[in-house]
């Protein structure tokens, strides 16, 4: 009962302080908001870079073109060997007839090509095979595997459309953004701690009379300290609420532009934030509460020692 009464009063005192120091609190909330926004930009860049890499990775494959007279047995052998490798994700075999069908379909409106094909007695196209690796790093291994003497002699050409340079570039950019983002976040976090510390010092100054009387009439240190710490937590929660709102509004507004930047592919930024919102908000709230509490604790502690 006593604990409940005291807790209730501590919350009421903290809420009154929060309202009374709203203007001073505004600056604190603003810096906390910047810190949170920079953390979320970092999270967004990470999510976007991973989905860009995934999109690029999906575009990588190895196309193998066989000489036209390759027998079905050799083609089957090549397919089953490549499929059996754990590094392979999929193998698609296109026979010479299927290749011709597709070619004709693709060029059905081109009379010159159709005429040229009609003049040929035999199918000029050979079979082909498209292989996808389960990981980007496995492509060099698959290229080596295609040198298998059981069917390598039938291979006319191989194209490895690797996008490796593009992937490396995306990785580099995201790494740089992550690096600078982390520095920026760290700077904002340090600012936040210092500003919360000072905001609580100012709160103590504006309430010095009340705090002095509290101590004089025998309020425990916890009773003096906790409302001020709670005050800091209120600032943090308000900043978190504003940051979350700002992020979702911004993302919803910019999502179509981001999609068009990715050639119509969904980079999944909005869905990433929606799907992980609970986890992100919880972690951010926890970290903010811990940082703000420690900062407020230190600010009040210095006062109480006097």
Partner 1 sequence: MGILTNKYMISFKNISKVYPPDVHGLKDISLEIEAGEFVCIVGSSGAGKTTLAKMLIAEERPTRGKIEIGGWDITKIKRREVPYLRRQIGVVFQDFKLLKRKTVWENVAFALEVAGETRKRIKDTVPHVLRVVGLEQKAHRFPTQLSGGEQQRVVIARALVHRPKILLADEPTGNLDTMNTADVIDVLKKINSFGSTVVLVTHNREVVNSLKSRVITIAGGRVISDKAHGKYILN
Binding site for partner 1 (CB under 8 A): 1-2, 5-6, 9, 209-210, 212-221, 223, 304
Q: Minimum CB separation from partner 1 for residue 232, in Å?
A: 20
In this complex, which beta carbon is closest to partner 1, that of residue 160 or of residue 223?
A: 223
Q: Minimum CB separation from partner 1 for residue 230, in Å?
A: 15
In this complex, which beta carbon is closest to partner 1, that of residue 79 or of residue 225?
A: 225
168, 173, 175, 179: CA torsion to nearest 10: 160
In this complex, which beta carbon is closest to partner 1, that of residue 5 or of residue 109?
A: 5
| DSSP secondary structure code for residue 153 in this structure | G
Grouping H, G, I as helix, E, B as strand and the rest as coil, residue 156 is strand
Q: Minimum CB separation from partner 1 for residue 209, in Å?
A: 7
Torsion sign (Cα): 182, 183, 189, 193:
positive
Residue 61, beta-bridge partner list: 161
Q: Minimum CB separation from partner 1 for residue 49, in Å?
A: 52
Q: 87 with 135: CB under 8 angstroms? A: yes
**CB neighbours of 99 closer than 8 A, spacing ≥ 6?**
123, 125, 126, 127, 128
Q: Minimum CB separation from partner 1 for residue 218, in Å?
A: 4
In this complex, which beta carbon is closest to partner 1, that of residue 194 or of residue 304?
A: 304
Structure tokens at 120: 């040929």
Phi and psi at 136, nearest 5°, equal: -60, -35
In this complex, which beta carbon is closest to partner 1, that of residue 173 or of residue 213?
A: 213
In this complex, which beta carbon is closest to partner 1, that of residue 149 or of residue 218?
A: 218
Q: Minimum CB separation from partner 1 for residue 279, in Å?
A: 37
Element (H, E) at 61: strand 61-66
């Amino acid at each position: 009962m006593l604990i409940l009464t005291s807790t209730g009063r501590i919350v009421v005192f903290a809420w009154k302080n929060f309202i009374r120091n709203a203007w001073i609190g505004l600056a604190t909330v603003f810096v906390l908001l910047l810190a949170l926004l920079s953390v979320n930009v970092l999270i967004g860049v990470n999510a976007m870079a991973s989905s860009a890499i995934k999109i690029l990775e999906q575009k990588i494959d190895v196309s193998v073109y066989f000489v036209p007279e390759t027998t079905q047995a050799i083609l089957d052998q090549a397919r089953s060997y490549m499929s059996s490798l754990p590094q392979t994700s999929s193998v698609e075999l296109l026979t010479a007839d299927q290749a011709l069908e597709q070619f004709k379909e693709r060029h059905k409106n081109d009379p010159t090509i159709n005429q040229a094909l009609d003049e040929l007695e035999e199918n000029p196209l050979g079979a082909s095979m498209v292989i996808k690796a389960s990981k980007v790093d496995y492509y060099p291994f698959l290229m080596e595997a295609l040198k298998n003497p059981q069917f390598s002699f039938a291979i006319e050409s191989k194209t490895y459309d690797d996008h490796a340079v593009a992937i490396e570039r995306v990785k580099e950019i995201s790494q740089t953004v992550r690096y600078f983002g982390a520095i920026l976040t760290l700077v904002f976090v340090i600012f936040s701690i210092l500003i919360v510390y000072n905001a609580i010092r100012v709160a103590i100054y504006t309430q010095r009379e009340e705090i002095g009387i509290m101590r004089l009439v025998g309020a425990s240190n916890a009773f003096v300290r906790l409302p001020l710490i709670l005050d800091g937590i209120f600032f943090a929660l308000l900043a978190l609420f504003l940051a979350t709102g700002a992020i979702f509004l911004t993302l919803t507004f910019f999502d179509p532009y981001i999609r068009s930047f990715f050639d119509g592919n969904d980079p999944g930024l909005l869905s990433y934030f929606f799907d992980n919102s609970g986890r992100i908000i919880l972690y951010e709230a926890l970290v903010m509460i811990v940082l703000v509490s420690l900062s407020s604790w230190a600010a009040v502690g210095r006062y109480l020692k006097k």
